[in-house]
């Protein structure tokens, strides 16, 4: 089946969606232990959540990049995720979607969430011809994410290392079996146009 160029793919249930982030151990360890972000986690900064496990692996280098050694699977409420999507804008200007650059900049200033579409990745972290969502949360969205939406936080660094080890050992089929099952996430016609491919 041909993948559309833009689609949200994620591990999700009827009530939750799993997104990924990577942090230094001083943030990631306490977050996984306590099921919430520690005081050192800054609510006044933009935080990017990624529904794609392999895109997270690309971004954090399988948890080997400095400052991104702890990979977290953060299970959040779908109603919170969709709240952010409905209040999001694109991270870049697209003439077909914005009257002009100034209109996009006004939207950017008032939106608590930012959408970026980046190439999805394969097991070797090569880009694929379709894109995955990165969602930036700031202001009210970041506070709601940290304080209201989180259902659970799991340290999936061991999974990242195991999958990476199998890929390096030339066993992609075994590596693929370990990947989280990510399915298309349903978005209805009331969502902003920049989310519907």
At 95 the pLDDT is: 65
**Token pair in block for residue 12:** 């999700």
Q: What is the DSSP string of 126-139?
A: PEEEEEEEEEEE-T
At 75 the pLDDT is: 98
At 196 the pLDDT is: 66
CA 131 to chain centre: 12
What tens-digit pLDDT sequence spans the chain (197 residues)? 578 888 999 999 999 999 999 999 999 999 999 999 999 999 889 999 999 999 999 999 999 999 999 999 999 999 999 999 999 888 776 766 667 777 777 776 788 999 999 999 999 999 999 999 999 999 999 999 999 999 999 999 999 999 999 999 999 999 999 999 999 999 988 888 878 65
Distance CA 21, CA 49 (A): 6
pTM: 0.93
**Token pair in block for residue 181:** 């099952």
Region of 24 please: left (phi>0), alpha (psi -120 to 50) or beta.
beta
**Token pair in block for residue 176:** 């693929």
Q: Is 161 helix (H, G, I), strand (E, B) or coil?
A: helix
Distance CA 179, CA 162 (A): 10
Read off φ and ψ for residue 119, nearest 5 degrees. -55, 130
Q: What is the DSSP string of 69-120?
A: -EEEEEEEEHHHHHHHHHTEEESS--TTTSSSHHHHHHHHHH-SEEEEEEEE
**Token pair in block for residue 118:** 């980046």
Of 154, 153, 151, 140, which is closest to residue 43 (Cα–Cα)?
Answer: 140
Q: Are strands 183-184 and 88-90 parallel, antiparallel or unpaired?
A: unpaired
At 2 the pLDDT is: 79
CA atoms within 13 A on the CB side of 21: 25
Q: Do residues 161 and 152 touch, judged by C-beta distance below 8 A?
A: no
């Amino acid at each position: 089946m041909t993948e559309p160029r833009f689609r949200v793919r994620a591990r999700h249930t009827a009530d939750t969606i799993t997104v990924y982030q990577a942090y230094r151990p001083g943030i990631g360890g306490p977050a996984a232990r306590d099921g919430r972000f520690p005081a050192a986690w800054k609510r006044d900064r933009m935080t990017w959540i990624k529904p794609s496990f392999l895109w997270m692996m690309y971004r954090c280098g399988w948890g080997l990049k400095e400052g991104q050694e702890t990979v977290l699977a953060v299970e959040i409420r779908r109603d919170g995720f969709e709240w952010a999507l409905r209040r999001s804008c694109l991270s870049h200007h697209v003439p077909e979607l914005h009257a002009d650059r100034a209109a996009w900049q006004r939207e950017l200033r008032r939106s608590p969430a930012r959408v970026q579409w980046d190439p999805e990745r394969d097991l070797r972290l090569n880009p694929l011809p379709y894109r995955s969502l990165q969602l930036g949360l700031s202001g009210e969205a970041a506070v709601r994410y940290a304080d209201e939406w989180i259902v659970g936080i799991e340290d999936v660094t061991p999974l990242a290392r195991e999958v990476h080890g199998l890929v390096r050992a030339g066993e992609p089929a075994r590596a693929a079996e370990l990947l989280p099952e990510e399915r298309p996430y349903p978005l209805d016609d009331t969502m902003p146009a920049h989310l519907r491919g």
